[in-house]
Amino acid sequence: MSLTEKGKISRIISVDTGGTFTDFLFFENGHLGSLKIPSTPADPAEAVLEGINTLLGKSTKNYILLHGSTVSTNTVLERTGAKVKLITNSGFEDIIEIGRQNRPQLYELVGHRLPPLVSRADRQGIQGRIGPNGEIVEQLDADDLRQLPQYLENAESIAIVLLHSYANPEHEAQVEASISSLNIPISMSAKLLPEYREYERTSTTVTNAYVAPKMLAYLTRLERESQAERVNLMGSNGGSLPVKRAALEPVHTLLSGPAGGVIGALAWSKRAGHDHIISFDMGGTSTDVSLCPGTPTHTTEFEIGGQAVAVPVIDIHTVGSGGGSLARIDPGGVLRVGPQSAGADPGPICYDKGGAGVTVTDAHVWLGHLPTDGLLDGSTSLERAAIKPHLQHIATSLHCGLEEAAQGILKIADSTMERALRVISVEKGYDPADFSLVAFGGAGGLHVAGLTERLGASKAIVPPLPGLLSAYGILSADITRETSKTVLIPSSRTRAQRDIETIFLELEKVITNEMESEGINRESLTLKRWVEARYEGQSFELRVPGAAWISNFHALHQERYGYQHPGQSVLAVTLRSVASAPGPEFELNPLKESSTPPKNTFTTVFLDGQWTEVKRIGRENLSPGYELSGPLVITEYSSTTWIPPDYNVIVDQWGNLHLSRIQ
C-alpha cells in the first residue's frame, strides 16, 4: 500500500497499545509499513519504545509519534492510581459516594458497587458557597485556606470541586492559588468540566486527579526516550490532543485506543461507499462495538471502573470477549467464556508460552480457522498439539468431542458479542439491516460472517490491515479541542438566541486561542457548535447541532422517543464548542486490477462434522474485482478472515473485503 503525502511531514509512527499486542503503523516517503509486537502490561512504554527502535533503528529523530494509550484506562480499572485528596464545600464531602443511587444489580437484595477513588478521610470540606447563577452566597473562609497546605502535604494529587463553579469559578481559583506552592498535580473542575450536575463533575475531576501522576510520568518518559519531534495522544472523543494537555487532562484518554478504531473503521467504510456502519473491534482481551449513522455517536454518560466520567466520548460498548478470553466450566457444569483473559503473558495455549486455559484463539486453531503458520506472516508458529489436553478437560466435562467443545466455545463468544451489538443498535431504535458491520482487530475477521447473519446486518466489511485499524484511526484522526459551559437558557426567554450566540463566541475565542498556543494554525481550524437541550421538566438532554437547535431538538426527540411538543419551551442546558484541525495529510492510491486468478493453497478445517480441505489465500494476492466463495481462509500479517460456506467475498479498489451471504 502506498501513500502520497501532501504536507511537510515525512515520517509518522502511529502506536496502539492493546491487551495482547502493541500495533505500529509507520508512514515514510509515501509508504505505510506495519509491525505488531507483544504488549508489556507491567510497563506499556517498553513495548512502545521497542517498536519505535525496531522501525527506526538508529535514526530516531525527525518524526511524529501518535499514540493510543491504555495507561489511564488500566489505572482506573486496576485501582493503581495516586492518593487523591478532594477539596469541596463543607457538608458536600460525600457527593462522590452517594452518587445517583443507581442499582446496577437490579435483582440483588443487597447491591454493591466499587468504592470511590478518594476515601472519606481524604475529602476536606471548606466554608463558602456560590449559588447556581454565579452569585457569591458566602465568601471562602480565610482560615480554611491557610490550613489547606498542611492538610494536603501527603497527597499525590488534588481535586478541587466546589458547588456551581461552572457558573462562577472564582472560589475554585482562590483555592488553587492557596495551594499552588505545593507542586502537587491539581485538577480543577471549573477548568476540566464547567458543567452542572455535581456528582458527575466531582467524579470526573477525581478520576482525572487519580490518573494524572501516573500518566504524567508515562508521557514524560515516552516523550524523552522516543525523541519524537512531536507526540500526540488519541482522545476518547475521536480526535488527537497534544501530549502536554493529555498529561494535565488524562481523563480525555480513557477510551483512547477504541476511539481510534471507530475513526479508522469509518474512514475505510466511507471509501467503500458505506457511511452507516457498526464497528466491531475484537482484540485479544475484549470486543468494542460502536454505531455510526454517518458520523461517530458521542455521549457524556460514560462510566469506567464504577466511576462516572462526563467528558464527551465516542459511544463505545465493551464486553469481555476477545481472542484471549478463557473458557471454563462453572460450578453448575455450564461452559463459560470470558471475561477473564489470558492476556499477553502467557497468552493462549497455542502461543506456547505456558498458557493453561483454553481461549477463543485456541478454539479457532483447533478447528483450523486459524492456520498454525497464519500469525504475523508465519513469523510466530502456533502449537496446535499443546491445546489438546486442556481442551480435552472441557470436552470431558461436557461429555462431547474435542471439536464440539471448540465449536461450543466459539458459539458462546458469538452470543456475548451479538448481545453487545444489539445494545448499541436494536436497543437504541436502529435496524441493523440499515448498517454494514465493519470488522477489525486481530480476531474480528474470524467471527464477522456469523455475527452479520445473527445480527441481521446488511453486509460485512473487513478493511485492509484489520489487526492494526486502531493505529490507522489514530494516524488519520483530526486534532480536536472541546470546551463547554452550562447555561440553562429556555428558548422562551426574549434574548435567548442572542445570549447563546454571545456565549458561543466566547467559547470559540477561548478554544482557538488555546489551539493556537499549541502550535496549530488558526486558519486551519473548523468550528462546530452543539447544544445539549431538553424540554423543561425533563432530567437529561439530547445533543443537537447548534444551528436551528430548537427545531433540531424537536426532530431528534421525535426520532428517539416517538413524540415531540413543538409549542413547548426547550431548555438549552449546555453549550459545547468543538474545534478541529486536520491531522497528517495523506491519500491512498487504489489497488491495481488483475485478471489473473489469485494464488491459493489448501488448509484443513473442521466443517459440518468432518475435516475438509478448503482454499487458503494470502490477502496480498487479492486484487480489485475478485469475487470468491466460501469456505475460504484469508490470511494476512495482522489478522485472519474466515469465510464460511454460503458466503461471497468481493474485493474493492481499496482492498476492502465485502462479505455477503449467498441468497
Q: Which residue has the higher pLDDT, 266 or 592?
A: 266
SS3 of 482-516: the string is EEEEEEEEECCCCCHHHHHHHHHHHHHHHHHHHHH
pLDDT at residue 543 is higher than 60: yes
In angstroms, rounded to a whole number, what is the distance separating the alpha carbons of residues 279 and 440? 8
pLDDT given for residue 1 in this prediction: 36
Contacts of 516 (CB under 8 A, 6+ apart): 522
pLDDT in tens, 322-351: 899 999 999 999 999 988 888 777 889 999
pLDDT given for residue 337 in this prediction: 94
Positive or negative CA dihedral for 548, 551, 554, 557?
A: negative
- How many CA atoms does the CB half-sphere of 539 hold within 13 Å? 2
Amino acid at 221: R
In angstroms, rounded to a whole number, what is the distance separating the alpha carbons of residues 583 and 232? 10
Contacts of 506 (CB under 8 A, 6+ apart): none
pLDDT at residue 30 is higher than 80: no
Q: Which domains, ranges and CATH numbers included, belong to the chain?
A: 3-76+215-253 (3.30.420.40), 80-207 (3.40.50), 258-321+414-463 (3.30.420.40), 325-412 (no CATH), 479-581 (3.30.1490), 601-634+648-658 (no CATH)
pLDDT given for residue 18 in this prediction: 80
Work out the average pLDDT over 302-312.
90
CA max distance for the chain: 83
pLDDT in tens, 128-174: 999 999 999 999 999 999 999 999 989 999 999 999 999 999 999 99
Work out the average pLDDT over 209-234.
93
Residue with cell string 461452559: 335
The candidate with the shortest Cα–Cα distance to 410, out of 277, 606, 603, is 606
For residue 22, which phi and psi values (nearest 5 degrees)? Answer: -105, 125
248-278: burial string, b at 16+ Cβ within 10 Å, e else? bbbbbbbbbbbbbbbbbbbbbbebbebeebb
Task: Give the model's confidence band at 2: pLDDT under 50 very low, under 70 low, under 90 confident, else very high.
Answer: very low
pLDDT given for residue 109 in this prediction: 81
Task: Give the model's confidence band at 7: pLDDT under 50 very low, under 70 low, under 90 confident, else very high.
Answer: very low
Percent of the chain with pLDDT over 90: 70
pLDDT given for residue 583 in this prediction: 79
Contact 195, 189 (CB under 8 A): no
Task: Give the model's confidence band at 424: pLDDT under 50 very low, under 70 low, under 90 confident, else very high.
Answer: very high
pLDDT given for residue 276 in this prediction: 95
Task: Give the model's confidence band at 453: pLDDT under 50 very low, under 70 low, under 90 confident, else very high.
Answer: very high
Work out the average pLDDT over 627-641.
92
pLDDT given for residue 586 in this prediction: 65
In this structure, what C-alpha cell is assigned to residue 170?
Answer: 472564582
29 — alpha (psi -120 to 50), left (phi > 0) or beta?
left
Helices assigned H by DSSP within 5-67: 44-56
DSSP 372-401: TT-BGGGTB---SGGGHHHHHHHHHHHTS-
Q: Which residues sit opposite 23 in a β-bridge?
A: 16, 36
Task: Give the model's confidence band at 108: pLDDT under 50 very low, under 70 low, under 90 confident, else very high.
Answer: confident
Q: How far is CA 237 from CA 135, 267, 516, in A?
A: 33, 15, 20
Work out the average pLDDT over 576-588.
82
Contact 35, 16 (CB under 8 A): no
Work out the average pLDDT over 357-369.
96
DSSP 99-138: TT---SSTT-SS---PPPSS-GGGEEEES-EE-TTS-EEE
Helix (H, G, I), strand (E, B) or coil at 447: helix
pLDDT in tens, 614-625: 999 999 999 998
Q: Which residues sit opposite 603 in a β-bridge?
A: 614
pLDDT at residue 5 is higher than 50: no
- Tell me the residue length of the chain: 663
- How many CA atoms does the CB half-sphere of 311 hold within 13 Å? 29
In this structure, what C-alpha cell is assigned to residue 304?
Answer: 469506567
pLDDT given for residue 436 in this prediction: 95
pLDDT at residue 9 is higher than 60: no
**Residue 93 parent element (H or E):** none
Q: Give the start-end residues of each E strand in 498-631.
A: 526-535, 542-545, 570-581, 586-588, 601-607, 610-618, 627-629
Work out the average pLDDT over 506-515.
93
pLDDT given for residue 593 in this prediction: 85
In angstroms, rounded to a whole number, what is the distance separating the alpha carbons of residues 381 and 374? 8
In angstroms, rounded to a whole number, what is the distance separating the alpha carbons of residues 660 and 644? 11
Task: Give the model's confidence band at 305: pLDDT under 50 very low, under 70 low, under 90 confident, else very high.
Answer: confident
pLDDT at residue 3 is higher than 60: no
Contact 120, 93 (CB under 8 A): yes
Positive or negative CA dihedral for 322, 324, 329, 332?
A: negative
pLDDT given for residue 221 in this prediction: 94
pLDDT given for residue 613 in this prediction: 95
Number of Cβ atoms within 10 Å of the Cβ of 199: 17
The mean pLDDT value of the chain amounts to 91
Q: Which residues sit opposite 661 in a β-bridge?
A: 647
Work out the average pLDDT over 186-203.
94
